[in-house]
Amino acid sequence: MSTSAEPLVQVRDLVKHFPISRGIVFQRQIGAVKAVDGVSFDIRRGETLGIVGETGCGKSTTARLLVRLLDPTSGTVLLEGEDIAQRKGAGLKALHRDMQMIFQDPYSSLNPRKTIGSIIADPFVIHGLHREEGERKKRVQDLMDRVGLNPEHYNRYPHEFSGGQRQRIGVARAIALQPKLLIADEPVSALDVSIQAQVLNLLRELQREMGLTLVFIAHDLSVVRHMCDRVAVMYLGKLVELAPNESLYGFPRHPYTGALLSAVPVPDPSGGKRERQLLSGDVPSPANPPSACRFHTRCPKAQELCATEEPPLEEKGRQTLAACHFPLTEDEVRLRLPAALSAAK
Amino acid sequence: MSVGASELLVEGEPSVEAIELVPGEVTARSPWQLFWRRFRADRVAMASGIFIVLLILVAIFAPLIVSILGLPGPSVQNPNLTDAFGTPIGPTGAHPFGVDPLGEDVMSRVIYGARVSLEVGIIGTALSTFLGVSLGLIAGFYRGWADTGLSRLADVVLSFPILLFGLGIGAACAVNGCLGGAIQPGVQTIIAIIVIAGWTYIYRITRGQVLSLREKEFVEAARSLGASNRRIMFREILPNLVAPIIVYSSLLIPVNILFEAALSYLGVGVKPPTASWGQMIADATSNFQTVWWYMLFPGVALLLTVLAFNLVGDGLQDALNPKADR
C-alpha cells in the first residue's frame, strides 16, 4: 500500500450533537444526542478504512459529516488540507465531485419515479457535464457496463431490479464523477449473503482501477476484514480503537473490540476451549453517556479510574491506537480469541 | 435473433413480447404504463370516465347540441308553454324534459348547466390543488416557521363553517364583485370560495408526503451529488407526489360540484338567467309536486356527474396504489 506523505482526509475532534427540543411553538433545547463526540483520524490516499461498531454508535453520522450531508457541531474535516466546512456555493458543489457516497438501503436510495438512465445521469446533469445527449447516454451506459449492469436496461425503472443490481446502480451513480473518496455506508448489509460478495468484489475492483480511497462502514466484522487495510472501532460516538487490519483481528487491545471479535461465530466448532466474552446490558443512551470512558459500564476490566478519567487514544504497539487504561493483554486475547491470535502469528 | 437470446435480454417477460423487441431498445413499462393497464381493466371506472368525457363534450358543444336537438336556448322564455294557472307543460316530444314555470326548456337548461358544474368543479379543483401543492411542498420541505405558519393557517381555514363562509362571501360579492371587481359575481365568486376553503386538504396530504419523502435516501443521494433545493423539490420529490395528488384532486371535483349546487340552491351562487343545476333544484322546490320534471332532471344530472367523478377517483386510487387496501 503506497501512502504519500499527506493523508487525503484529516478528521480532527469531530463532534455532532443533535439537539433534543421540547415545545411546539416556543422550542427549547432540553438536551442533545451526542452521536459523534470528538473523533479524530486520518484517511490515507488509496487505502480502505473500515469503521465498525454497533447500531447507533455514530458510524453513519460520521460518514454524513465527511461528505457534508450534515454540518459538524464542532471540529474539522480537512480534505487535502482544506477545511470542508468553509465551502459554500460553487465550492461546496465542487466538493461533491471529490467525495461520493453509497447508501445502505438500495430500495430507498433510488427514486422510484426515475429511470436508471436518468438516475445515473444525475451527477452529469447537476454538474453540467457531457451536455450533449448522445454523449451523456454513452457515458451512462459505460458506467452501467463497468458496474456489471446490462447497458440496455437504461430505460428501466428501479422496481425492475433486484437488491444487488440496485446497489450496483448506486455504485455507478457514485463513481460517475470520478471522486477521490468514496464512502460506503453499510453498502451490503441490506443484501443477501450470496450477493454481498459480488458487490464487495465490485468495490475492490473499482478501487484498484480508479485509485479510489474507500471508507467502508459496516457492522459485520468479517466483511470489514475482507475489505479493509485499517479498521476503526466506534462505541457511543467515540473512537475506541484504530489499527491495521492484521493487528486489530490478531491482537485487539480495547476490551470492546475483544468483545466484538469474540461474538463472531467460529467456523470450526472443534476449535476447543475459548472463554467467550459476553457483554451484559444495553448500549447506554447517547443522550446521556457514561462519564469518562464510555465503555466502563459494560467493561469486564473496568476499574475506578475508568469512571473518572477519560483514556486518550494512544499507541499501544503494533501501530494500534486504543483508548483504554487497561488494554487487553496477550494472555487474555489468547484465552478469549484463540483463533485470532494464532491466525495473526 | 433467437428466442433464447431475446429471453435473456428481457428477463422473465413473455417471449412473445420479447421477439418484437429490437436489441438496444428493451422497453420498460413505466409506472404510468402500469397504471394505465390497471385502470383500463377497471370497468366501472372506465365507464365513468367515458361518461365524464361525454359530459365535457356536451358542455363544450352545448349550443350545437341544443340546436341539433331543435330545442330553444336555455334562457328563451315562452309564456305559451304554461297554462292559465302558470303550470308549465311536462315532458313532450318537443321538450323531452318539459319546461319550467318561466316557459324555459328544462333539457336545454340541464345541458347548459353542465358548463357551470364542470367549470366550477374542474377550475376550482385545479386552482386549489395548485395552491395546496405549492404550499405543502414549501411547508414540508423547509419545515420550521414556514411549516408552523402555513399549518396553523390551514387549521384556521379548516375550522371555518365553510357553507356559512361561502354564503357570506357570496352575498358580499353578489352585486359588484369583490376585491375591486377582480372576482365577479357568479361562477368566479364560487371558484374563489372553493379555492379559499379547498386548498387545505391537498396541502395537508402534500405536506405529509413531503415530510416522509425528504428523509428518503434518494433525497440524501441527490444532495450528496450537489443538487440544489429546487432540483430536489421538483425533480426528486414532486414526481413521487403525482399519484396521491391525482387521486385526491379527482375526489375533490365532485365535492366542489356539490358545493356549487348548494350555494346556488341557497341563492348566492349562479344567478338566473345562467342555468345551474343547483339553482334549478332550488327553483323547483316551491311546486315540485306538480312540476316534478323541473327537479328530477337537474337532480339526476347532478347525481350521475358526482357519482361518475367519485367512481373515477376510486378507480384512479386503485390503479395508482394497487397495494393500498381501502
DSSP output for A210-223: HT-EEEEEES-HHH
Q: Does residue A124 belong to any structural domain of this protein? A: no
Residue A282 lies in a domain: yes
Residue B316 CA to residue B322 CA, distance in Å, equals: 10
B262-289 residue pLDDT tens: 888 888 878 777 888 888 888 888 887 8
A153 assigned to some structural domain: no
Cell digits for A125?
Answer: 446533469
pLDDT computed for residue B46 by the predictor: 92
C-alpha cell at A81: 488540507
Is-contact B210 B140, C-beta < 8 A?
yes
Say if CB B214 and CB A102 are below 8 A apart: no
Weakest-pLDDT range from A298-302, B16-20, B166-170: B16-20
DSSP 3-state of B4: helix
* Distances from the Cα of B75 to the Cα of A307, B108, B109, B260, angstroms: 92, 9, 8, 20
Contact A69 B220 (CB under 8 A): yes
pTM: 0.79
Ranges of each domain in chain B: 3-30, 42-320
Blockwise average pLDDT, block size 10, chain A, 345 residues: 69 89 74 88 91 88 90 89 82 87 90 90 90 89 92 87 91 92 90 88 91 90 88 91 87 87 70 64 81 84 83 81 84 69 48
The number of domains in chain A is 1
Point out the residue among B25, B217, B225 whose CB comes nearest to the CB of A126.
Answer: B225
Q: Which residue of A has its CA nearest to B230?
A: A126
Cβ-defined contact of B227 to A110 (cutoff 8 Å): no
Contacts (Cβ under 8 Å, ≥6 apart) of B105 = B71, B72, B73, B74, B76, B95, B97, B99
Residue A290 falls within a domain, yes or no? yes
Is there a contact between B221 and A67 if contact means CB atoms under 8 Å apart? Answer: no
Residue A220 burial (CB count, 10 A): 16
Q: Is the pLDDT of residue B8 over 60?
A: no
- Grid cell at residue B274: 345562467
Q: Which region among A52-66, B130-144, B178-192 has the lowest average model confidence (pLDDT)?
A: B178-192
State the DSSP string of B5-55: HHHHHHTTS-HHHHHHPPTT------HHHHHHHHHHH-HHHHHHHHHHHHH
Q: Where are the alpha helices (DSSP H) in chain B?
A: 3-10, 15-20, 31-41, 43-60, 62-68, 106-118, 124-142, 144-158, 162-172, 187-213, 217-224, 229-231, 238-265, 277-284, 292-320
DSSP reduced 3-state for A14: strand
Inter-chain Cβ pairs, chain A and chain B, closer than 8 A: 83
Residue A230 CA to residue A47 CA, distance in Å, equals: 8
Looking at residue A168, its pLDDT comes to 93
Q: Is residue A285 part of a domain?
A: yes
Between residues 7 and 26 of chain A, which touch chain B (CB distance below 8 Å)?
Answer: 24-25
- Which of B224, B229, B241 should one mutate to test binding to chain A, selecting the residue with the greatest count of A CBs within 10 A? B224
- The answer to whether residue A39 sits within a structural domain is no
Q: Do A110 and B231 touch (CB under 8 A)?
A: no
Using the beta-carbon criterion (under 8 Å), do B26 and A152 form an inter-chain contact? Answer: yes
Which residues partner with A241 through β-bridges? Answer: A233, A322
Q: What is residue B125's three-state secondary structure?
A: helix
Q: Would you place residue B22 in the very low, low, confident or very high pLDDT band (cuts 50, 70, 90)?
A: very low
* Residues spanned by the domain of A311: 236-345
Closest CA to B306 of B267, B242, B250: B250
Contact B31 A123 (CB under 8 A): no
Fold classification of B42-320 (topology level): MetI-like fold (1.10.3720)
Lowest mean pLDDT among A325-334, B167-176, B256-265, B317-326: B317-326
The verdict on B30 touching A (C-beta cutoff 8 Å) is yes
Query: d(Cα A295, Cα B38) in Å, to the nearest integer?
Result: 56
Positions of E strands within A212-335:
213-218, 230-235, 238-244, 314-315, 321-322
Split at pLDDT 50, 70, 90, the class of B21 is very low
Q: For B85-119, give one letter per residue: b (16+ CB within 10 A) or e.
A: eeebbebeeebbbbbbbbbbbbbbbbbbbbbbbbb
Within 8 A of A64 by CB-CB distance, chain B residues are: 220
Q: Classify burial at A99, counting beta carbons within 10 Å of its beta carbon; exposed 0-12, middle 13-18, buried 19 or more.
A: buried
